[in-house]
Structure 1
Amino acid sequence: MLSELLKPLRLTDTYYSKWLAGGDWGVAGQEDSHAVLHYMVRSECFITCADAEPIRLSEGDLALFPHGTAHTFSSAPGLTTTQLHQVLPARAAGSSHVVTVGDAHPDTEILCASLHFDSTTEPPLYRALPPVIVLRAHMLMDEPLLQRTLQSLPTEIIRTAPGARMVSLRAFEMVLVLSLRTAMERLAADSPALQALRHPGISRALTAMYASYATPWTVETLSREAGMSRSAFSQAFRDLVGEPPARHLMVRRLQEARRLLADLSVPLGEIHERVGYQSHVGYHLAFRKEFGITPGEFRTLRAG
């Protein structure tokens, strides 16, 4: 299921920075349109989202914000913070910075990254992931590939060897995928969306939706795929995924339609059938209702 979920999700670019901090310090980040991660290379810090309790990150811990949720990170909870744009006025994709903050000699090192991916490839279930996923150092010890990739990134991202930018991009992509896999295995109890990936019946139905979205699925046939009664399937799906099966399938199909619309070699008139709509009118109305523009207007915008 995780493979089908993440298959269309490919990073297009990253922005990364190394933070060196000492003494008292605090930075408030804005809502980001991309996934964000913080990896504690040395020492510790605290992250806070809105009114939630502060989360302490110790050396070797990783915090992933799948949706780029606004948050602060600081040497201690409750400190006065500086806005991120004042510390980093420009953050161009593909660039990197070394940032020094605090009122004392740096004793803390954090690797931060903004992971950019095309929003048209974002799987519907990805939107149901929690605002922040924290993987502790002891969890990463059981995931040697993830741990070693994280440990090598501070050195790799400052290299200027041929292909260094592409290597860093794919390394961060691997970190994203491996982090979600680890979270699914270790933190499912904390997130209904992660539970859905592990649920025997719901995961089978989700795999069917993602891999065979053009099939004329109904709630009845999906419940049979899940090996559950229709009522039990519908309730469990809504509880774990956060929306009815029919809507989730519709969004999956329209997501694929947006991907095909971005490919100018695909004839506009064929797309509705390729994503599972028998009627062009039904597809046109669903697309416009979901995204506020018609498929043709979307293609024109992408072409421009």
Structure 2
Amino acid sequence: MDVLSDVITAMHAGVPHSARVVRTAPFGRRFPSSDGAGFHVVLQGAGWLIPQTGDPLALESGDVVFLSRGGAHGLADSLSTPLADVSTSLAEIRPDPAEASTTGAPAMVMLCGAYLLDRSHAHPLMAELPEVVHLPTKAGRHSGLRAALDLLRGELERSRPGTDAMVPALLDVLLLHILRAWFDERSQEGAATGWTAALHDPAIAAALRAIHSEPERQWSVEDLGRHVGLSRAAFARRFTTLVGQPPLTYLTWWRMTIAARLLRDSDAPASAVAGKVGYNSEYAFAHAFKRTYGRPPGSYRRQARGAGS
């Protein structure tokens, strides 16, 4: 498995939400916080993003802003424009018919929305992201991200058969490109630490792929070290330094993440879920799951499905 893709798949808690929004000057909006990870893509024009903390960001056509923790923030055509509170978060945003029908030239045309993510058991990879990720795509930067935006723009500007399925899929592609671009930038800037370094370290990245590909396998630290060509001690030390957890601790954490997803999204009995994540004993699985999530598998499944109904 590709680790980055696997992390996103495991954290998904629903279909991403988005709307194409047209803003005419002057405009100023203050968005409340959201449980999801918000985003803004500037399709046309320019303006400002005003985070709760930190300096305002000047936005231009082609810029992508990813709000990794769904924090409250403002959007405006100018820093002098007052911000009016918006009652809906980015997870609920809708196109504004009044502004969308305006005949004058818009100050900004944007794609705004949110990814619905399960923050109760967020992958540590996501914790390394800053609250606001700003990715300009002009001047030849992030060609893959720019290509994804072009496809998304085409679907939004002209609805065709398949658009309803295409847009959520392209939003998922966009999220992966956003994360890939940020990790690549960190690596190129020489700031590769933690998960950035882990994903670019051949041995540790190979070990992570092995864990993600075969979580049911009875891995030992020695097995993983041998798999990537390192001694047990050297592998354990390097893995723990970069990932922030010992190899088997991360393996258990990932198994429980998969188990939670299966309990939430499938009808597989707990015994089958236990087998898929490497437990021969349903009792041992239930004990490990409760230690991680604070409740046994059956209770977790009932609560997760009740919350989603």
The TM-score bracket by the shorter chain reads 0.7 to 0.9
* C-alpha separation in 2, matches of 1:226 and 1:43: 49
Q: Counterpart in 1 of 2:138?
A: 138
Asked if 1 retains the 8 angstrom alpha-carbon contact of 2:42 and 2:61, the reply is: yes
Give, as a single letter, the amino acid of the residue that structure 1 aligns with 2:115: L
Three-state SS of the structure 2 residue aligned to 1:40 is: strand
* C-alpha separation in 2, matches of 1:90 and 1:298: 28
List per-residue Cα deviations over 1:50-83 (Å, max 9, x = no partner).
Answer: 4233333222111223443443333455864333
Gaps of 5+ in 1: none
Structure 1 residues 155 and 3: alpha-carbon distance in aligned structure 2, compared to 1, 3 A threshold: closer
Asked if 2 retains the 8 angstrom alpha-carbon contact of 1:64 and 1:133, the reply is: yes
Structure 1 residues 218 and 68: alpha-carbon distance in aligned structure 2, compared to 1, 3 A threshold: farther
Deviates more, 1:75-84 or 1:27-36: 75-84
Asked if 1 retains the 8 angstrom alpha-carbon contact of 2:12 and 2:117, the reply is: yes
Deviation, 1:207, is 0.9
1:112-151 correspondence to structure 2 within 5 Å: 112-116=112-116, 125-138=125-138, 142-143=142-143, 145-151=144-150
Three-state SS of the structure 2 residue aligned to 1:257 is: helix
Deviates more, 1:260-269 or 1:122-131: 122-131
Q: Counterpart in 2 of 1:219?
A: 221
* C-alpha separation in 2, matches of 1:201 and 1:124: 19
Q: Counterpart in 1 of 2:65?
A: 63
Q: 1:258 aligns with which of 260, 278, 286?
A: 260
Deviation, 1:135, is 2.0
Number of residue pairs matched?
Answer: 297
Three-state SS of the structure 1 residue aligned to 2:16 is: strand
Identity in percent: 25
Q: Counterpart in 1 of 2:40?
A: 38
Q: Counterpart in 2 of 1:249?
A: 251
Asked if 1 retains the 8 angstrom alpha-carbon contact of 2:36 and 2:91, the reply is: no
Structure 1 residues 180 and 83: alpha-carbon distance in aligned structure 2, compared to 1, 3 A threshold: same
List per-residue Cα deviations over 1:179-199 (Å, max 9, x = no partner).
Answer: 323333333336632332112
Q: Counterpart in 1 of 2:162?
A: 163
Q: Counterpart in 1 of 2:293?
A: 291
Q: Counterpart in 2 of 1:277?
A: 279
Q: Counterpart in 2 of 1:97?
A: 95
Gaps of 5+ in 2: none
* C-alpha separation in 2, matches of 1:90 and 1:39: 12
Three-state SS of the structure 1 residue aligned to 2:138 is: helix
Structure 1 residues 127 and 282: alpha-carbon distance in aligned structure 2, compared to 1, 3 A threshold: farther
List per-residue Cα deviations over 1:205-257 (Å, max 9, x = no partner).
Answer: 21112111112223343344344455554454344334443332222101111
Structure 1 residues 80 and 119: alpha-carbon distance in aligned structure 2, compared to 1, 3 A threshold: same
Q: Give the alignment's TM-score, normalised by structure 2.
A: 0.77
* C-alpha separation in 2, matches of 1:89 and 1:132: 16
Q: Counterpart in 1 of 2:204?
A: 202
* C-alpha separation in 1, matches of 2:193 and 2:133: 9
Three-state SS of the structure 2 residue aligned to 1:134 is: strand
Structure 1 residues 90 and 129: alpha-carbon distance in aligned structure 2, compared to 1, 3 A threshold: closer
1:107 aligns with 2:107: yes
Asked if 1 retains the 8 angstrom alpha-carbon contact of 2:38 and 2:90, the reply is: no
Asked if 2 retains the 8 angstrom alpha-carbon contact of 1:124 and 1:248, the reply is: no
Structure 1 residues 264 and 108: alpha-carbon distance in aligned structure 2, compared to 1, 3 A threshold: closer
Asked if 2 retains the 8 angstrom alpha-carbon contact of 1:38 and 1:62, the reply is: yes
Deviates more, 1:259-268 or 1:195-204: 259-268
Asked if 2 retains the 8 angstrom alpha-carbon contact of 1:11 and 1:169, the reply is: no
Structure 1 residues 76 and 249: alpha-carbon distance in aligned structure 2, compared to 1, 3 A threshold: farther
Deviates more, 1:202-211 or 1:274-283: 274-283
Structure 1 residues 140 and 239: alpha-carbon distance in aligned structure 2, compared to 1, 3 A threshold: farther
Deviation, 1:168, is 1.2
Q: Give the alignment's TM-score, normalised by structure 1.
A: 0.78
Deviates more, 1:134-143 or 1:290-299: 134-143
Deviates more, 1:167-176 or 1:8-17: 8-17
* C-alpha separation in 2, matches of 1:127 and 1:4: 16
Asked if 1 retains the 8 angstrom alpha-carbon contact of 2:16 and 2:168, the reply is: yes
Taking only aligned residues, the RMSD between alpha carbons, in angstroms, comes to 3.6
Structure 1 residues 196 and 178: alpha-carbon distance in aligned structure 2, compared to 1, 3 A threshold: same
Structure 1 residues 303 and 48: alpha-carbon distance in aligned structure 2, compared to 1, 3 A threshold: closer
